[in-house]
Structure 1
Amino acid sequence: MSMQASFALRGRNPDVLTCIANLSNDEVFTPPEFANRMLDTLAEAWAADHGGANLWADPSVRFFDPCTKSGVFLREITHRLTEGLADEIPNLNERVDHILAQQVFGVAITQVTALLARRSVYCSKHANGEHSIARSFDDAIGNIRFDRTEHTWLDGKCRYCGASQKTLDRGEGLETHAYAFIHTDDIKARGAEIFGRDMQFDVIIGNPPYQLKDGGHGTSAAPIYQLFVEKALGLDPRFAVFVTPSRWMAGGKGLDRYRERMLSDKRLRNIVDFPKLYEGFPGVKIRGGISYFLWDRDHEGPCTVQTFWDGKPTGPTVTRHLDAYDILVRRNEAVPILEKVRARGEPTLDARVSSRKPFGLATNFKGKTSPSGLPVPIRLFANQRVAWVARKEIPINTEWIDKWKVLMTAVQGTSAAVETKFLSKPIIAEPGTACTETYLVAGHFDTEVEAGNYARYLRTRFVRFLVSLRKATQHATRDVYAFVPDLLLDQEWTDAKLYKRYGLNEEEIAFIESQVAEHDDTLFDEAAPANDDGE
């Protein structure tokens, strides 16, 4: 036994969990280095609240991963406890057995990840197997459970997770992706059902699945990571630590209620944010980046926010209240700039910018290649081209047709690891024009001069910086303009004029210009193509 325990818990080089391939972009394995970063944050918070005590030297603390994949969290916790409990339980065999039987618990997301996690933690895919380093289990499952669960279908979707029945109602032989932890109305009862007894966990930690196809158009998928977080907090742990996509901070499909809850929860103690694509999880494309948070049941706000860039902390680490705005302003350096802008109490552009489908025409509406034969032909800005449509075919906002308009693409972004433009270049559309859903009407005007001044305003770094604070993905919908002042258009606005108007200092100006690149010398796009390479 001592040889088995020593083999399992000694340094691993190379570590197989740094090399294992992800199941998909939705079910991403956590790199061991990142898992340990999260555990360091947890240990620091525990020590601060327990008079400097070492979390890993406490034999009574229970840890739970409700979305176990590779088992990395439970493995690293076990490793730390094995070192920390050496004085408390000197015998290595007894110490390891106590940790595995009494302190670390998990619920796997699939049968495959259950076997993988048991192999990572017990050194055997069977907890009671010949090579297992645990000795107290009388079954193969141990404390890493997997129970196949079925979706509860209602009107074509699962009532718990929103999964598409058409996509995932595939019969008993295939994985359902109906995760047991979130398919319940009573999470405490579900915990007792899974482990055969009432369980109170001190620490819940994990990296939940990110999304499931929801039956929408194409590859449409709905986020589900928030469901794991909500259920975990419902178990009332002492601490909860989760890594998720950061899209919840400013946007994301179906995340409004979750965002409101998180920003108003004074028990959020730490947020560590990795905005740069691929930074947190190398090789995994998660638009908007990832972040992890520490939730502390006994904390009463505010929250410490820290940003990492290229592996190092960047900017100041600031403790602030998260509910100052309806979204989380991720970069601490941006907060004083935004406060100066908002202090003037000016109306904002979200009231001016149209909603999607400004003329009621979908992106796939093609129109005609020529105005020939059309009664009252209208020039149509469509997806990557200009077409023609009869005026009578335009169902809504027909009064805008005869106005000067400024159009912006509804999607703006690239595959680059760092976004620097945030908005496309504006298109000035003359009277007698309309557009499909590819574009938003950012504003409509009586004169070409007003339209030109507005387009120049939208090109400024200042405007695009304010947009960046709310733009979590490629989608540049109306709400991303909600921090941008709606100014009089009797002059040409430049960055220099705007910096002076809002009293920005040299440091604040430098930060804006470090985040937002200038557009090229072309003044306005004639017909900018949409660019959406998925999320």
Structure 2
Amino acid sequence: MAEALTQQVGFTLRGRNPDVLTCIANLSNDEVFTPPEFANRMLDTLAEAWAASHDGANLWADKTVKFLDPCTKSGVFLREITRRLTQGLADEMPDLQARVDHILTRQVFGIGITRLTSLLARRSLYCSKHANGEHSIARGFASDDGNIWFERIEHTWANGKCTYCGASQQTMDRGEGLETHAYAFIHTDDIKTRVAELFGGDMQFDVIIGNPPYQLDDGGYGTSAAPIYQLFVEKALDLDPRYAVFVTPSRWMAGGKGLDKYRERMLSDKRLRRIVDYPKLYEGFPGVKIRGGISYFLWDRDHNGPCAVQTIWDGQPTGPAVARHLDAYDILVRRNEAVPILEKVRAKGEPTLDARVSSQKPFGLRTFFHGKPDSKRLKNPVKLFGSQKISWVERSEIPSNAPWIDMWKVLMTRVQGTSAAIETKFLSKPIIAEPGTACTESYVVAGVFDTEIEAMNYAIYLRTRFARFLVSLRKSTQDAPKTVYAFIPDLPLDQEWTDAKLYKRYGLTGEEIAFIEAQVAEHDSELFDVAVADDGDDE
């Protein structure tokens, strides 16, 4: 019987080939499954922190610790936690069935994000979609659900949007046969009461861990879709666990719509103990395109100090983790090697280029606006740089910043990047636009000038590796608004700035120069871009 039971308790066996959870396809871009290997890296980080704070104690040998995955999909976190506890508690609870029952009924809990994922998670954890079924490895449950809860709930609509997650009523208010994506964990004003309702009693979780949905599945796409992962993190921290460990996109560190308050909260939270960052596309989650990469963090309720930041590149750390205060800047500078370079630049106290660069729609014209194919029959024609082509418009048709029309301008494409795993240019080549010109929101006006020579020198400056390196610290996606220029010093334009001059001006070491040039590729020999934006890849 003992042998049969050992075979039944699937998570005690490491010889499965292959592990089904390494083969499963993602349901959508907002429901990304965590590879088991990655989940175990997060659990290793958790166990190290636990040992450091508990005189070397083994987290997995503690039968009192409670774990919650508030956004379980494949059940991989709960399964791997259970596997570790099954091994760690073997000495204290030698009877395998009793040990398994204790772990599954008293220590591991989950909230499914959809009905399908709740069934999948139960199958991963209990080896049966019925926690109390004949094939379940647990023997202590009275209900089918066990400790993995799921029930369909509805959004709360106001003015066409959900008051909790911002979902579009037009898109998501649909029939009972379709998933609402109204996630129980974030659709509440009182998360502690909600958790008590789901699992009964005063549930205090020691560890909350998960990989939340990344964005609303309501018609948005990529960087235009509204993020929601921050809502799961905020609710989890409101539960005041001992530790919280989450993997999310890294866009929150520097940009992303709807993430400003979340970024401010995270950077100022001295309880963040560790961040492990995977900036290279596809590296963290192979085959999943998450622009800006992914990262996971460990939040420690009893920690009060700097956060250890580490970057993983091609499977290896780029260097040791460096403890630093995350609120030194308004964004998180992801690479530790970049911090001393930025400090040298900022030490001079110079103004920065974001004050020069226009906001979105510099002339008030949308991307899809197009003028006439030529200037014939126009009384006062203006040359218009637009999406994929140059056209002509009447001066009276331009609603904003009319004085700029007759100045020299440097234009930069607003969307800049590639689908490659590594971005190396960070900005497109500048376009020098003569007087009598304007542009649509496909571009930002990086600067306006009285003379051609100033515009020329400015464009040369923006081509330097130095300037584009400083952009890279703030640019996490293809989008390049004015905020990505906020670390570049605004220098006098009475000379042509070269990388050699800039490296000398800021006293950069050979090692720092080598780091910049390893991150940022040179533009080709053609000095400036004479084409128009195609709103796509530049490299």
Q: Cα offset for 1:217?
A: 9.5
Give the one of 14, 29, 32 matched to 1:28: 32
1:10 corresponds to 2:13: yes
Match of 1:275 in 2: 279
On the 8 A contact 1:413/1:532 being kept in 2, the answer is yes
Give the one of 348, 351, 364 matched to 2:352: 348
**How many residue pairs align between the two structures?**
533
- Give 3-state SS (helix, strand or coil) of 2:429's partner: coil
Match of 1:172 in 2: 176
Match of 1:187 in 2: 191
Cα separation, partners in 2 of 1:76 and 1:219, compared to 1, 3 Å? closer
List structure 1 runs of 4+ shifted beyond 4 angstroms.
213-219
Distance in 1 separating the partners of 2:536 and 2:239: 39
Distance in 1 separating the partners of 2:126 and 2:492: 67
Match of 2:243 in 1: 239
Distance in 1 separating the partners of 2:476 and 2:87: 41
Give the one of 200, 203, 208 matched to 1:204: 208
Distance in 2 separating the partners of 1:485 and 1:112: 52
Q: Cα offset for 1:214?
A: 5.7
Give the one of 44, 47, 71 matched to 2:51: 47
Q: Cα offset for 1:26?
A: 1.1
Match of 1:88 in 2: 92
User: Residue by residue, what CA displacement relative to the aligned partner does 1:27-86 show, whole Å, maximum 9, x if unpaired?
Assistant: 000000000000000000000000000000000000000000000000000000000000
Identity of aligned residues (%): 79
Distance in 1 separating the partners of 2:218 and 2:406: 39
Amino acid at match of 2:278: F
Amino acid at match of 2:230: Q
Distance in 2 separating the partners of 1:300 and 1:283: 37
TM-score by length of 2: 0.97
Match of 1:368 in 2: 372
Can you give the 5+ residue segments of structure 2 that lack an aligned partner in the other structure?
none
Amino acid at match of 1:317: A
Distance in 2 separating the partners of 1:221 and 1:106: 26
Match of 2:485 in 1: 481
Distance in 1 separating the partners of 2:471 and 2:42: 30
Distance in 1 separating the partners of 2:378 and 2:217: 41
Match of 1:468 in 2: 472
Amino acid at match of 2:342: L
1:526 corresponds to 2:530: yes
Which aligned pairs between 1:133-532 and structure 2 lie closer than 5 A?
133-213=137-217, 220-532=224-536
Distance in 2 separating the partners of 1:528 and 1:51: 62
On the 8 A contact 1:414/1:531 being kept in 2, the answer is no
Provide the aligned C-alpha RMSD in A: 1.2
Q: Cα offset for 1:476?
A: 0.3
On the 8 A contact 2:279/2:313 being kept in 1, the answer is yes
Match of 2:110 in 1: 106
Distance in 2 separating the partners of 1:480 and 1:315: 26
- Give 3-state SS (helix, strand or coil) of 1:509's partner: helix
Q: Cα offset for 1:4?
A: 3.9
Q: Cα offset for 1:384?
A: 1.3
- Give 3-state SS (helix, strand or coil) of 1:222's partner: coil
User: Residue by residue, what CA displacement relative to the aligned partner does 1:87-117 show, whole Å, maximum 9, x if unpaired?
Assistant: 1101001001100000000000000001000
Distance in 2 separating the partners of 1:463 and 1:112: 48
Amino acid at match of 1:169: D
Cα separation, partners in 2 of 1:214 and 1:355, compared to 1, 3 Å? farther
Instruction: Identify the range of structure 1 (77-86 vs 190-199) with the bigger mean alpha-carbon deviation.
Output: 190-199
Amino acid at match of 2:329: Y
Cα separation, partners in 2 of 1:216 and 1:309, compared to 1, 3 Å? closer
Amino acid at match of 2:7: S
- Give 3-state SS (helix, strand or coil) of 1:315's partner: coil
- Give 3-state SS (helix, strand or coil) of 2:531's partner: coil
- Give 3-state SS (helix, strand or coil) of 1:443's partner: strand
On the 8 A contact 1:413/1:474 being kept in 2, the answer is yes
On the 8 A contact 1:403/1:431 being kept in 2, the answer is yes
On the 8 A contact 1:413/1:531 being kept in 2, the answer is no
TM-score by length of 1: 0.98
Distance in 1 separating the partners of 2:34 and 2:240: 24
Q: Cα offset for 1:173?
A: 1.3
On the 8 A contact 2:443/2:533 being kept in 1, the answer is no
- Give 3-state SS (helix, strand or coil) of 2:230's partner: helix
- Give 3-state SS (helix, strand or coil) of 2:119's partner: helix
Cα separation, partners in 2 of 1:217 and 1:369, compared to 1, 3 Å? farther
Distance in 2 separating the partners of 1:35 and 1:303: 21
- Give 3-state SS (helix, strand or coil) of 1:261's partner: helix
- Give 3-state SS (helix, strand or coil) of 1:66's partner: strand
Distance in 2 separating the partners of 1:442 and 1:220: 23
Distance in 2 separating the partners of 1:407 and 1:331: 29
- Give 3-state SS (helix, strand or coil) of 1:444's partner: strand
User: Residue by residue, what CA displacement relative to the aligned partner does 1:223-281 show, whole Å, maximum 9, x if unpaired?
Assistant: 00000000000100000000000000000010000000000000000000000000000
Distance in 2 separating the partners of 1:275 and 1:504: 24
Q: Cα offset for 1:316?
A: 3.5
Distance in 2 separating the partners of 1:42 and 1:89: 23
Distance in 1 separating the partners of 2:524 and 2:240: 53
On the 8 A contact 2:220/2:226 being kept in 1, the answer is no
Distance in 2 separating the partners of 1:207 and 1:79: 19
Match of 1:75 in 2: 79
On the 8 A contact 1:213/1:219 being kept in 2, the answer is no
On the 8 A contact 1:187/1:231 being kept in 2, the answer is yes
Q: Cα offset for 1:215?
A: 6.5
